[in-house]
Amino acid sequence: MLLLLYVGSYLTVSRRGYAEADRWNCRGFYYFTPEDSEVWRYLNYGCMYLYAPLHNVDRWLGYGRCPACEPLWGLSK
């Protein structure tokens, strides 16, 4: 049951991130919509480490993408 929950949650957040990256024409993806806050950093990077095993398998199978680096906040100022 826990394995199914783990895989299901990965597929949900990663595929939502892929769809958002497609709308923005980005190669990488974020697990959550980017925002300049500590909470976003904690959640996004937490998911990167939590889902790393599934992410590696997903990429090995040819379906996954690389997670994107943090945006350069304030660059447009």
What are the residue boundaries of the structural domains of the chain, listed by start? 2-61
> What is the pLDDT, as a whole number, of residue 10?
94
pLDDT band, residue 76 (cuts 50/70/90):
low
Q: What is the average per-residue pLDDT within 22-34?
A: 89
Give the closest residue to 50 by CA, choosing from 10, 2, 1. Answer: 10
**12 has pLDDT over 70:** yes
pTM metric for this prediction: 0.80
Give the closest residue to 48 by CA, choosing from 63, 74, 70. Answer: 70
Q: What is the average per-residue pLDDT within 52-64?
A: 91
pLDDT band, residue 46 (cuts 50/70/90):
very high
